[in-house]
Structure 1
Amino acid sequence: MTAVALWVVFGGLSGLFATIAFLIAIRAMQAPQLRIGEWLIAIAFIAPIGGAIIAIAWYSRRLGGAASQLEKGAESTARLAAIVESSQDAIIGKTLDGRITTWNAGAERMYGFTAAEAIGKPISMIVPKAGLVELGQILEGLRRGESTGRFETARLRKDGRTIVASVAITPIRDSTGRIIGASSIAHDVTEEKRVVEALALSEAKFRGLFESAADGIFVVEQQGLILDANPAGEALLGRDRSQLIGSRIEDLISAATPSSGSGFVEALTAGSLGANVYEGTAAAPDGRELRVQLSAQAVHRLGEDPRVVIIARNVTEQSEMQRKLLESERAASMGRLASFVAHEINTPLTNISLLASSIGRRSSDPEVQARLKKISAQGKIAAGITAELLKFARPRSTNLVETDLRDVVQAAADQAGVFRKPGVALRLDLGDDPLVLRIDPIRMNEVFVNLLKNAFEATANGEVGVQSETTDDAFLLTVSDTGSGIPSEVRKRLFEPFVSTKGKGEGTGLGLALSKSFVIGHGGDISVSSEVGRGSTFTVRLPRGAPTSPADLSSTRAGTH
């Protein structure tokens, strides 16, 4: 506006100057010789006007330069505003008391508030309660002229969600250097933090699994050198991690793999072996050869040499169990053969018994009678063995009856009483309440006869007792003695067929195996605790929801439980 006014004045003075000059020219034409006074008057008019014109022209030019600078400044300001507005980061201006003065589009996207909603409001609207103390400290520092380097903090969105922001805050000064406010640039790093934390968690989980795994895990580089090993791997090979790192895995563990023309690790990294499971061997710390099962996988990372993760599982015990299983199967076959033999031998045993009886009736020779008695005794022993074998091999059909267990135990005690030695007392503590279950009384009678017979035979002096206990879901009956006890190595196999604590020829070793089979068939279990020299206790547990039909009652053969 000032420039326009100056140009109007400049035009007016120029017109006046031209008019005076024209009049002087006319006067000069009328009077070629002007007097000196007239020239002075003309000059007095023209000189100021010319000076004014020159001054106005100079000032106008200078003002035009200033206007050009102002236009350039306006362009620069507009460009800066465009940069701020188009920035993906949240750029916020605020006063020293925390009032928002500017709010760009990035802030709208990051915090959810529009500029109209934010400008004029306190900056605390985007700060969680837990961060208000921190905000007060920042504003106090800004008033002292301090800048805040980039830091991560929590911020609050309009929808109430808390985000993580990376923020930098600097003071704003006027032309005199006085601090009049502050600007902050914030970037939402919530997702980046989530990814970093997820990666850290994944690494922690891997490290946790790596360290706690029961199998040995080895991280191996392409040439087979161990880079890392977990504690199970240290225990497997009997070496510390520091000793394992740098060692060749193939010097410690050998793998039985298809011929590949190279080492196991090289073949894996080259892709000539798949991610299969291989058998191998390793040397135990005590020098024993261990059987190991190996699984391995090559890991290829961009820009890095491939590595191999090898998992080694000690299957020595498993292999031993498989060997024992094969032996057990062979023993089962022998049992079936024994059953066949027992069945087939019953006929000649019967004939022998009949012939011995016939000879006894016809002969009165004392020596003959003595020998016949021995034959009869041995025949009875053989018949007892075959009867046990047949009972073991071919359990009879079941007959479930509502039965009071107290009656079963009392009958078994009467039957087994013949084995009780003179110095042994029998104590029955079965309570006053009935212990009624739907069971096969004959089978359960056999169980308690076996247990009481064994207890009486193991006890020379002291006491054999039977005690009952009722729980919410079962009846417990314990048969205890103060006898010799059972060694731990025998106790582990006590319920297996043909295992006996008695001397040679004193038992078949089938009684406890049959007993456990019968108890398991009723849905229960039988266990033993014993201390050598102090006696043993057998506990029979029968669930109160016992089988209700013969189909429910297992006829599992002893030895297969």
Structure 2
Amino acid sequence: MKETDEIIQLIKEFEKRESDLRLDNEQLRRLNTALRIAEEKSAILNSIVSTSDDAIISKNLEGIITSWNESAFRIFGYTEAEIIGVSVLKLIPAERQYEEPIILEQLKKGIRVDHFETKRMRKDGTLIDVSLTISPILNIEGKIIGLSKIARDITAQRSAEVDSKRLAAIIASSDDAIISKDLNSIITSWNGSACRIFGYTADEMVGSSILKLIPPDRQDEEPKILSELKKGNRVEHFETVRMKKDGTLIHVSLTISPIKDKSGKVIGLSKIARDITEKKLTEKKKDEFIGFVSHELKTPLTSLRSYIQVALHKSKGENHDFISHALTKAEQQTKKMENMITDFLNISRFEDGQMKLELSSFDLALSIHSCIEDARVSSSKHQLSYEGIDQAIVTGDTEKISLVLTNLISNAQKYSPEGGAIIISCHKTENGFTMSVKDQGIGISAEDQKSMFQKFYRIKSEKTRFISGFGIGLYLANSIITLHGSSIHVESIIGEGSTFSFSLKAAE
């Protein structure tokens, strides 16, 4: 019996030890699982830290840096070897060093710091805007043993915010209507001047089609403009007519630009509309006045010239030298006035679209010679000479090209010193002929060259104060050459002279 009890006791002890062993194995399995999960989490964490675009830094409670990721190097410029073991104060500008003890005190209480925006200093001394998120690092007992810091570089964001505010201020204070719209012509923004010019409030227009501003007879303009802008092309100073809320029409000058996303794709359009109604009315009144005066003056002037020519012919026959000389001068002046009036009339015709070209084949060289002879009669103070080919058969309007030639030669005479040489030339080119007028005059600055073909533009300097003119000759000459499918080019050096040239196609 005793032996049996002993055997039972041994069995129970064996079963207990087996149970304890099974328990140890289960604990070991759980421990291994926990270690594996921890390793996986650590690997994930290391991957996040190494690939993050933000600087991820850890430091102890004395502010000494203990870890430093790749983005910290990219943002601040220090390598890991240079910065680990160094105080974090190395990154903080002198005037902001007070921030660190305040942050440390807050974190020692276990309070996390979120999105604290401040400035930090790079290795090269430049300051950058950063957003800091700082958390306490706790040990197993929950005691704070260090700090983890995520620093995001927001310099570009801050710069963009400043630019955005500046742009918003410009848009708000602009005298021009500044409007944005999407690619379906739906208005997305509307500034104060747009309200003043068109009469609609932002609430009335944002979300509406831009077609609301376009008169029915001009609605075809919008798809054409959209087509250009979708290609990424800018539309500049497009003069047209738009409609106000009360139905009245106004003249506007539009500058429209594509709005692109980061990839360069066009996602919308920005439009600046300038009200030029007053300008247009002023120009119309001025043109009407010029046309009226020109017509009214031309008839009596033509009669006056005829009388002068008759008197001149008679005085020459009777050998009245003084009278003949005086009448010759009078005839030259009446011719000059006739040419001026003709210029004004031609400008009116050109701007009304009534100037038509009477195209024919003619000898450009012959026209040049004729204009040179007329110029010599008008003024003998300059040495006019011709260089080039004897014959240049071109296609153009003979009368209007002669007007251009007269203007260019007359300008050379006006702006050249007495006795100066003026060379008129004509040469063969690949597709036609090029003529030029070269003088030894006062020259034209690069700035004046940008505007000299504008109507009524005159060069203002001490040397031009006493030179007569209205600033219409070059405008008219360039307009005529433009109608011929060409343009006038100028090369000039101050104090050395200028060369004006244009080309015409050879006659077929």
TM-score, L = length of structure 1: 0.44
Higher Cα radius of gyration: 1
